[in-house]
Amino acid sequence: MKKITFILSMIITCNIAFGQAIISNAEDTGLSWWQAGSTAVEIVDWHPKEGNPTAKAMTIWISPTSDAWSGGGLGGLNINVSAYNKISVLVYKNVAGTVRLELQDGGPNQFVTADYTTPGVWQKLEFAIPAGMGNITTLLIAPFIDYDLSTIVGEQSRCFWDEVIAFNDTTTGISNPFSSAEIIKTEIFSMTGTLLKTLDGAQNIPYTLMLKGMYILKQTDAEGNISSSKISVK
């Protein structure tokens, strides 16, 4: 008999990973970024790979005449604020400073910021979702909100972002982040990201047919939310 374990050393972090929703990853989720301000958003495959070896990332290139709030916007969302209390974004710039998210729920727009501190590396920034918000329908990112754009030249004008994720860092134990929403698809990946098998929501995960090792499970619910978790088959 094979032994299936959810890694005990990762009970907290595994639950954070399990209790998350991928908003945009530039490959297959949240691709409809639109221009916010005066600078176009591109999805590119030539972003810096060290620290973020994904296939693609979002980018903008600002100029001295760009709007300070230039960046990208993503609409048509339904981020459940009762399930998630933070949003994280991977950011790469060549100048330190503030990055701002604008969150919209149909009421007054909410603005949250985080500091990008180490130029030339990918940095995971975390933004707390303000208390009292309804479900978030639109998100905008402004990577150069507090800069004097006339002083930024060359590669300092470029910003990349990727892996926009809603998560909850207050839950404990391993639980299903989708509340009552039905799981409609489960995908099993190798640790290198190769898709091994796709299952319908009603199918059981075939643990007994899986070779010993670590795997990533990616599940999609009926509302379009996506979560992932790591398991070990022994």
- Please name the residue that has the structure tokens 């300070």: 68
Q: Which residues pair with 229 in a beta bridge?
A: 217
d(CA 229, CA 218): 7
Task: DSSP for 24-42, please give it.
Answer: E-SSSSS---EEETTS--E
pLDDT band at 9 (very low <50, low <70, confident <90, very high): very low
Q: Is the pLDDT score of 10 beyond 60?
A: no
Taking CA atoms, 136 is separated from 27, 125, 139, 144, 171, in Å, by 22, 18, 7, 23, 20
Q: pLDDT by residue (tens digit) across 59-81? A: 998 888 888 889 999 999 999 99
| Three-state DSSP class for residue 207 | helix
CATH class of 22-167: mainly beta
Sign of CA dihedral 70, 72, 77, 78: negative
pLDDT of 143 > 90? The answer is yes
Q: Which two tokens stand for residue 143?
A: 């990577």
Rounded Cα distance between 95 and 100, Å, is 15
| Residue 211 CB-density burial (10 A; 0-12 exposed, 13-18 middle, 19+ buried) | exposed
Ranges 37-46, 84-93, 104-113, 143-152: which has the least confidence? 143-152
DSSP 8-state symbol, 14? H
Least confident window among 12-16, 141-145, 176-180: 12-16
Judged against a pLDDT cut of 80, whether residue 106 lies above it is answered with yes
138-142, strands of its sheet edge to edge:
34-36, 71-74, 138-142, 97-104, 110-116
Residue 234: band (very low, low, confident or very high) from pLDDT cuts 50, 70, 90: low
Residue 54 has pLDDT above 50, yes or no: yes
pLDDT of residue 173: 35
Is pLDDT larger for residue 29 or for residue 193?
A: 29
- 196-212: pLDDT as tens digits: 888 887 567 776 567 77
User: In angstroms, rounded to a whole number, what is the distance separating the alpha carbons of residues 148 and 8?
Assistant: 48
What pLDDT does 220 receive? Answer: 84
pLDDT beyond 90 at 113 = yes
Q: Which of 94, 73, 103 is nearest to 144 (CA)?
A: 94
Q: Where in the chain is the domain with CATH 2.60.120.260?
A: 22-167
Q: CATH 2.60.40 spans which residues of the chain?
A: 4-12+173-233
- Do the beta carbons of residue 157 and residue 59 sit within 8 Å? no
Fold of 4-12+173-233: Immunoglobulin-like (2.60.40)
What is the average pLDDT across 87-104? 95
**Which pLDDT band, with edges at 50, 70 and 90, does 125 fall under?**
very high
Average pLDDT of every residue of the chain: 82
Rounded Cα gap, residues 98 and 202, in angstroms? 45
pLDDT for the residue numbered 162: 95
What is the percent of the chain with per-residue pLDDT over 90, rounded to a whole number? 44
